[in-house]
Amino acid sequence: MESIEIRKSLKQDTFEGVDFLDLDDLLTDEHKLIRTSIRDFVKKEISPYIEDWAQKAHFPTEIVKKFGDVGAFGPQIPEQYGGGGLDYISYGLIMQEIERGDSGMRSTASVQGSLVMYPIYKFGSEEQRNKYLPKLASGEMLGCFGLTEPDHGSNPSGMVTNFKDMGDHYLLNGAKMWISNSPEADIAVVWAKNEEDRIHGLIVERGMEGFTSPETHGKWSLRASCTGELVFDNVKVPKENLLPGKSGLGAPLMCLDSARFGIAWGAIGAAMDCYESARKYAAERIQFGKPIAGFQLVQKKLSEMLTEITKAQLLAWKVGKMMNAGKAKTVHISMAKRNNVEMALNIAREARQIHGGMGITGEYPIMRHMMNLESVITYEGTHDIHLLILGQEITGIPAFV
């Protein structure tokens, strides 16, 4: 990428957490240690630069190796493959702290861990695991996940990307769109149909002839994250790059469950950042002779923010316990993702009002979080699709068709 001069913020990140109901009592000492480690990392490596990265639509490629060093990639993957061997609450806390820094930064980490490393670990061969996972975990390699297509978003089963068996290799054709990490990715886990219309995962490597990943420009959201397409024009994929462990649409959807769980936690981080900024600003901003924190309507906003954050924390923690026990279903994760992202977006909008005109500037994180969350509420299952997933569970009647 082109060289861009980044201005370091003079503001110090002093965030210490939001925990009204002493929810830390529900966490282990290891959980709290992991959270502190990532929080310190965000304060040092993301907070001082994120506003300038976002203003300049710059993805800092150097953050990839730093994420690897701090253990943000695949923390739930076993240690033998380079992961952290941690539980899902640890994974959630890591995503929460990174998204407090920025949703685009969390996207980079969660795509790597849940959408690239997870399918290779879960559905890959032992040779694939040993070849790719340690390099992905360390940040030596960056990966992306190719499911969404230009004409198939909420209905991925309609995908047209396909591959044919040519004897000694597969021939891959098609295109994917709105792919986080794609312009910088070394590998892509691509979902495509074979000649029997069965969906399989393929590992496509940078440098394979006919594989390109044009960048998406002009985004008003996730501006510090790199987004692009994946284009396959008669790409020869070695047969050993097929993920052998599972086929069908259920395979990529399992990956998305893991990623959506991370989003449910991550959105809490964005909400916390907006709430803390609004609380501090309200205490400092004087109008009519007193801090605006002393006015009823501002107190109403702050009280509702704290209440909603607390409810979201409990929801994320409970689903995390269910994930650890192997009891979490897609519907549980859909509820958490949908609720917590909507909560965060509402808090961002209310916080913007408390900040007044200052809320639209890069002096405060509010508008950046708000724009980011407009993507988060749509990707990895739109807000309305998650509502219908829950509706089907309640009624037994699918409303998608």
CB atoms within 10 A of CB 287: 11
**148 with 111: CB under 8 angstroms?**
no
Q: Per the residue annotation, which of 215, 240, 380, 393 is the catalytic one?
A: 380
143-146 and 187-193 strand pairing: parallel
Q: Which two tokens stand for residue 296?
A: 């009823």
Q: Which two tokens stand for residue 171?
A: 């021939």
The Cα–Cα gap between 33 and 71 comes to 13
Those residues with Cβ within 8 angstroms of residue 18's Cβ, 6 or more apart along the chain or in another chain: 272, 275, 276, 306, 309
The Cα–Cα gap between 262 and 92 comes to 5
DSSP H helices in 208-295: 250-284
CA distances from 296 to 241, 243, 276, 287, 289 (A): 61, 58, 18, 13, 15
45 assigned to active site: no
How long is the chain?
401
The Cα–Cα gap between 50 and 232 comes to 33
How far apart, in Å, do the first and last CA atoms of the chain sit?
Answer: 43
Q: Which amino acid is at 302?
A: L
The Cα–Cα gap between 359 and 357 comes to 5
Q: What is the DSSP string of 323-345?
A: HHTT---HHHHHHHHHHHHHHHH
3-class DSSP assignment, residue 232: strand
CA distances from 29 to 26, 36, 249, 266 (A): 10, 11, 38, 20
Annotated active-site positions, please? 380
